[in-house]
Amino acid sequence: MSNKLDNSQIIHTDKIALFHRETIKKYTKNILTKNPPKIVGFLANDDPAAKSYAKWTKKACESDGIQFELKYVDKDDLETHVEDANKNDSIHGIMIYYPVFGNMKTFYGMSMDEYLRDSIHPKKDIEGLNSYYSSKLYRNIRFMDSPHNLKKLILPCTPIAVVKILEYLYQYNEPDPLLGKTITIINRSDIVGRPLAAMLANDGAVVYSIDIDSTFVVTKKKKSLSQMTVEESCKQSQIIITGVPVKSYQLPSKYIQPNTTIINVSSFKNVNIEEVLKIPNVRYVPQVGKVTVAMLERNLLRCYDNTNNK
- Work out how close the CB of 61 gets to a second copy at its nearest, in angstroms, rounded to a whole number: 28
- Helix and strand tally (H, E) in the chain? 10, 12
Residue from 12, 38, 223, 235 touching a second copy (CB under 8 A): that is 223
Q: Are 51 and 43 contacting, i.e. CB atoms less than 8 angstroms apart?
A: yes
Q: Which of 43, 70, 48, 49 is nearest to 59 (CA)?
A: 70
User: Which C-beta is closer to a second copy: that of 23 or that of 86?
Assistant: 86
CA distance 205 to 207: 6
Of 26-34, 90-98, 211-219, 232-240: span binding a second copy (CB under 8 A): 211-219
- Work out how close the CB of 135 gets to a second copy at its nearest, in angstroms, rounded to a whole number: 5
CA distances from 242 to 216, 218, 232, 261, 302 (A): 16, 17, 15, 11, 29
CA distances from 250 to 154, 183, 194, 237 (A): 32, 18, 21, 17
Residue from 218, 241, 265, 276 touching a second copy (CB under 8 A): that is 218
Q: Does 214 bind a second copy (CB under 8 A)?
A: yes
CA distances from 249 to 124, 212, 267 (A): 36, 12, 12
User: Which C-beta is closer to a second copy: that of 12 or that of 223?
Assistant: 223
Q: Determine the residue type at 200.
A: L
- Please state, as a whole number, how many other Cβ atoms lie within 10 Å of the Cβ of residue 250: 15
Of 4-12, 179-187, 188-196, 231-239: span binding a second copy (CB under 8 A): 188-196
User: Which C-beta is closer to a second copy: that of 79 or that of 305?
Assistant: 79
Q: Does 135 bind a second copy (CB under 8 A)?
A: yes
DSSP classification of residue 157 = H
CA distance 65 to 33: 12
User: Which C-beta is closer to a second copy: that of 47 or that of 190?
Assistant: 190
DSSP classification of residue 190 = T
Active site residue 234: no
- Work out how close the CB of 108 gets to a second copy at its nearest, in angstroms, rounded to a whole number: 6
User: Which C-beta is closer to a second copy: that of 171 or that of 224?
Assistant: 224
Residue from 139, 152, 247, 278 touching a second copy (CB under 8 A): that is 139
Near a second copy in 10-49, by CB under 8 A: none
Catalytic residues: 157
The residues binding a second copy (CB under 8 A) are 105-109, 115, 118-119, 131-132, 135, 138-139, 188, 190, 194, 197, 209, 214, 216, 218, 223-225
